[in-house]
Chains A and B, each alone.
Chain A
Amino acid sequence: MIFAIVRTAFTGLRRDRASLALSFVLPIAFFSIFAVIFGGQHDTIPQVKLIVVDQDHSPASRNLLRGLHAEGSLLVITRPDSKEKAAPDFTAATAEAAVKAGTVPVALIIPAGWGQHPIAFNGSDDKASEIQLLNDQSDAIAPQVVSGLLQKAAMTAMPASMAGEGEKYMSSYIGGLTPEQKKLWDANLARLNDSEKRRDEQPATAAKSTSSGFGDGGIIPVHTRGVVGEHQNKNMISFYAAAIGVMFLLFTASGSAGSLLDEQDSGTLDRVLSSHVTMTTLLAGKLTFNTMLAFAQLTVMFLWGWAVFHLDFFTHIPGFFVMGLCTAFAVAAFGMLLASMCHSRAQLGAVSTLLILMMSALGGSMFPRFLMPESVQKAGLFTINAWAIDGFTKVFWRDQPLSELWPQVAVLLGIGVVLFVTARRVARRWEFS
């Protein structure tokens, strides 16, 4: 009896392609995506893009910069576009703007005079000569990586400066060296200086090393300042509202667009199309409704974030409207296309679940894209999620003006139009037989 029940269930599953896909293809697809995201990094930390502004121009700062260049985990840039030789170096202001715009997560400013006293064991008395670390707090990992590697670079790239400064501290703490000790110390310091000079003449990339990290609280005084996301918790709410919101919008939109399939099954679609309603009118009507539904869903989600998690919603209304409507339009069109391509609700359920979860994984709804490898980040640009999240981040996180939203707006509207036009073409199969 039990065998008969098992056989019946197995036969049913074998003939239900939708369930089969959900049972086997979805887990494999997900496993593969996360394997690529996390496993494809070969146990290395992804490169952190870092702007360094050297206002000091001292041998110590040059050595430090050289040491940072040599770190394999850092991608150090000193001017906006390295291909354009004529481009001026970053200044403190342009570096801060780049962090705010999300171009890089971290910038280091080496102030003038830093080379005089590059290290401090008990923190620096002269805050003006401390290295400034400007960071975007949406990326919690990058500043820690930079901070640790900065300490390491200091130790490995400027040993003479370290030793010289160390001797000053030693003299100050223990009353100085004997003449014999001083002679030996000076001889070794001269060797270290020679060594630094020789390395200055070599290309920076010749000494690439792997990162081992040094940890926080090193001997190079660093003043860390968040230039974006000062209210980190509140702004992370906006990130998750957008990330989770877009994923569920996609589910809702495809489910709502599936009413077309219900209407086809019930014969209502035939009846409607036999009236004065054309297929284009019908699809446009459904698209409008689904866009409004998705926008309402987003609004409720952000209002909930405002009411419960103190999300700064009302100061970002224009940006929210722009990004909300564009996102809602794109996801609605996505739902229309899926519904028009599928032949049954069950098929729609399986295909939409598969696609939406994959898009959400790649597009940053489940895991921030900036923590993914470069190739996966690029793949994410093929998803609605990535563009929508980027846009909402610009509005709520970076406080960028509406004009800065044009790439996201253009892409989302473009995606929406292309998907809707494709859906209209596919829906021709419903028009006539």
Chain B
Amino acid sequence: MPSAVNELSAVAALPVEVAGLLKRFGNLTALDGVSLRLEPGQCLGLLGPNGAGKSTLIRAIVGRVLPDSGQVRIFGAEAGTAAARQSLGWIPQELAIYPRLTCRENLVSFGKYQGLSSARLAEQVAWCLKWAALEDRAGDPAGKLSGGMKRRLNMAAGIIHKPRLVLMDEPTVGVDPQSRNRIFEMIEHLRSEGMSILYTTHYMEEAERLCDRIAIIDHGRIIAEGSNEELVRSAFGTRSEVTARFTGTQDAIAAWVEQRGGRLSEGTAQFTVTRPAEIAPLLDEASTRGIGIEDVSLRRPNLESVFLHLTGRELRD
């Protein structure tokens, strides 16, 4: 991809620059020409259904997947090089910690793997334990921590060397709301220190809360990118979303919803309207067709609406 490479070289060193990334596993095209940029200090959310290519993209940025073509640069350094590894911290979705080692021993081990000197290591271990609220459990084996604590330790291990860029792969999977909030605070703390973050999640409210920009990936391609507002505007314009539940013959309801350009899911119909005044004629038409109305609500589309609008509702796995 010479054009993509030239394009990259013309840009000042950004935390992440991905250009024309292509990766195939046998007949499966996991990444199909992905291009992406992360600005300094920004938090970029990466959303996509299961199997869309998120993990492959993250692993390519880390340097663990060799692309068939295209390029990944981390602060100007090619992915996988020592310079790129030094700048990058990776928090994988799995609990990639040593369960028999204590929290402190885990952090010391990963710090040494990152080449930290003894003095800096001690400083960083203390900082990470405090950041992850694990100071009181520093001497406990990681395997005996609660799920939320393990998640926080997993995050701390990923940033022990204080990288300028952090890749977070669904860091809140399987934790309770309290732990999730604590993790949000930790992430916001990193942002306040100027770290750039690439954040993948299935939780739309997390992306809405934490991310400056969001990229939606599906079938190995970035199909939309922008801020939350930009994505909603791009997908729905100024239209609002009407959600209604009807009573009557299901076949008749389904046929009518489809005719009106709406979507029916689990007994709830969704339509988009430009103005609230369009709602009354819609409901009148339902009545004339013998369809009863149970309840109706009007709301502005959100990120989840955009996501489902762009990626569809079909199950992926």
Contact = CB atoms under 8 A, between A and B. Distances in A.
Interface of A: 266-268, 270-277, 432-433
A267 B113 contact: no
Contact of B114 (A268, A276, A433): A276
A271 B110 contact: yes
B282 interface: no
B229 interface: no
Interface size range on B against A: 20 to 34
B66 A270 contact: no
Interface string B3-31: 00000000000000000000001000000
A268 B64 contact: no
Interface string B56-85: 000100111110000000000000001001
B171 to A, nearest CB: 13
B157 interface: yes
Among all A-B residue pairs, the 9 with the closest Cβ atoms: A267-B94, A267-B96, A275-B113, A271-B96, A268-B96, A432-B66, A276-B115, A267-B92, A274-B62
B145 to A, nearest CB: 14
B158 interface: yes
A276 B82 CA distance: 7
Given A267-B94, A432-B65, A432-B66, 18 more contacts: A267-B92, A267-B93, A267-B95, A267-B96, A270-B62, A270-B94, A270-B96, A271-B90, A271-B92, A271-B110, A271-B157, A272-B113, A274-B85, A274-B90, A275-B113, A277-B113, A433-B65, A433-B66
A274 B64 contact: yes
Contacts of A267: 92-96
10 contacts: A266-B94, A267-B93, A268-B96, A271-B110, A271-B157, A271-B158, A272-B110, A274-B64, A275-B115, A276-B113
Interface of B: 25, 59, 62-66, 82, 85-86, 88, 90, 92-98, 110, 113-115, 157-158, 161
A308 B41 CA distance: 67
Contacts of A274: 62-64, 85, 88, 90
Nearest to B66: A432
B252 to A, nearest CB: 44
Contact of B96 (A266, A276, A277, A432): A266
Nearest to B111: A275
Contacts of A432: 64-66
Contacts of A270: 59, 62, 64, 90, 92, 94, 96
A272 B106 CA distance: 12
B113 A433 contact: no
Given A276-B82, A433-B59, A268 B65 contact: no
A10 to B, nearest CB: 29
Contacts of A266: 94-97
